């Protein structure tokens, strides 16, 4: 559109320039006739001229007039030639102008047709672009719908998978809880059974220990009684009964001995009430040194409490 407008302005400028040139060359340039040398007004001098001079002057004047006419004729012919040339040029310019106008009209028509074609093409392009845009939008919406459907399906599958996982996890938890409960019950039962077994075992061990302790005490008492009997027997062998000693005498002595049975001290702890009896028993203990040792070394005591009764 812009190119057609510029071209039309250019052609309009050419037409105006052509008209201006035509006007310039068609002007009738009026060249003033040359003024003959000496034709300026001279003061008429009243002089007397002879005929020869008058004839010569007339001849000169006629020659000058003829020359002037000839010059004028030449000038007019020249002007006519110029006018014809100018007319020819004017006609040529008019023809050229007409051709230019025709060409401009044709180009204007072509420009209008081109604009119409361009407008049509633009409309077609716009319609095609709108159609393509509609197709793209339709395709985009279809893709969005497809993606949304796919996303919904994936979400549904994930939800189903999550439900399945939760059910499996819950079932596993229940199974593990049942297993833990069973294990705990078994553990408790085992613990109760173990506790009962331990209690029974402890009771059995306690009974056995009591029985063992009883047997040990019995054996210990028996060994101690035997040990004491051996000591009393030896003391009795070394005891000399005082004369006139009444029956039923007995006393208790504290005897200190060293390992090996050597007696180092004897003291009456509970007297018999008879000094002779008590002294005789004390003497017998000293004579019985070293005292018999127990068969079980653990029964050896450094301090012994001996009850002496000769009637036993």
**Which tens digit of pLDDT belongs to each residue from 74-87?**
988 888 888 788 78
Is 193 among the domain residues?
yes
Q: How many domains does the chain have?
A: 1
Mean pLDDT of 19-40: 54
What is the overall mean pLDDT for the chain? Answer: 83
- For the ranges 6-15, 161-170, 249-258, 269-278, which has the lowest average pLDDT? 6-15
- CB of 44 closer than 8 Å to CB of 140: no
Backbone phi and psi for residue 263, each to the nearest 5 degrees, phi listed first = -80, 130
> Please, what is the Cα angle at 240 between 238 and 246, to 5 degrees?
135
Is 35 among the domain residues?
no
Is 268 among the domain residues?
yes
Domain range enclosing 282: 148-242+249-312
192-235 pLDDT, tens digit each = 888 888 888 888 878 888 888 888 888 888 888 899 899 999 99
SS3 291: coil
> Assign residue 87 a region: left if phi > 0, alpha if psi is -120 to 50, beta otherwise?
alpha
Is 310 among the domain residues?
yes
Q: For residue 205, what is the domain's CATH number?
A: 3.30.1150.10
Is 195 among the domain residues?
yes
- CB of 284 closer than 8 Å to CB of 270: no
Given a cut of 70, whether residue 128 has pLDDT beyond it is: yes
Sign of CA pseudo-dihedral 213, 217, 220, 223: negative
Q: Is the pTM of this model over 0.85?
A: no
Amino acid 31: pLDDT: 45
Is 79 among the domain residues?
no
41-50 pLDDT, tens digit each = 455 454 455 7
Backbone phi and psi for residue 269, each to the nearest 5 degrees, phi listed first = -90, -40
Q: What is d(CA 36, CA 221) in angstroms, rounded to the nearest whole number?
A: 203
Is 67 among the domain residues?
no
**How many H helices and E strands in the chain?**
3, 3
Taking each helix axis as running N to C, give the angle between helix 275-288 and helix 51-238, from 0 to 180 degrees, rounded to the nearest 10.
120
SS3 letters across 127-156? HHHHHHHHHHHHHHHHHHHHHHHHHHHHHH
Is 231 among the domain residues?
yes
> Assign residue 244 a region: left if phi > 0, alpha if psi is -120 to 50, beta otherwise?
left
Concatenating the DSSP letter of every residue in 27-48 gives S---PPPP--TT-S--PPP---
Amino acid 251: pLDDT: 95
């Amino acid at each position: 559109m812009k190119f057609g407008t510029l071209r039309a302005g250019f052609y309009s400028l050419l037409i105006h320039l052509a008209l201006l040139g035509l006007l310039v060359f068609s002007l009738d340039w009026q060249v003033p006739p040359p003024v003959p040398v000496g034709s300026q007004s001279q003061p008429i001098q009243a002089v007397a001229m002879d005929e020869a001079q008058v004839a010569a002057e007339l001849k000169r004047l006629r020659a000058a007039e003829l020359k002037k006419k000839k010059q004028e004729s030449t000038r007019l012919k020249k002007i006519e030639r110029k006018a014809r040339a100018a007319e020819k040029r004017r006609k040529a310019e008019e023809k050229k102008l007409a051709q230019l106008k025709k060409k401009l009209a044709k180009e204007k028509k072509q420009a209008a047709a081109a604009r119409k074609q361009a407008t049509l093409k633009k409309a077609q392009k716009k319609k095609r672009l709108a159609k393509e845009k509609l197709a793209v939008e339709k395709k985009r919406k279809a893709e969005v719908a497809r993606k949304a459907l796919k996303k919904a399906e994936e979400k549904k599958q994930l939800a189903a998978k999550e439900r399945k996982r939760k059910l499996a996890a819950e079932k596993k938890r229940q199974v593990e809880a049942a297993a833990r409960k069973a294990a705990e019950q078994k553990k408790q039962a085992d613990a109760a059974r173990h506790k009962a077994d331990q209690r029974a075992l402890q009771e059995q061990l306690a009974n056995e220990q009591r029985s063992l302790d009883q047997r040990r005490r019995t054996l210990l008492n028996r060994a101690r009684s035997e040990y004491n009997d051996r000591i009393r027997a030896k003391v009795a062998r070394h005891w000399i009964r005082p004369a006139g000693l009444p029956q039923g005498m007995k006393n208790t002595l504290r005897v200190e001995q060293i390992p090996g049975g050597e007696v180092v001290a004897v003291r009456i702890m509970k007297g018999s009430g008879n000094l002779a009896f008590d002294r005789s028993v004390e003497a017998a203990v000293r004579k019985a040194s070293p005292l018999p040792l127990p068969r079980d070394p653990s029964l050896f005591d450094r301090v012994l409490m001996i009850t002496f009764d000769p009637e036993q």
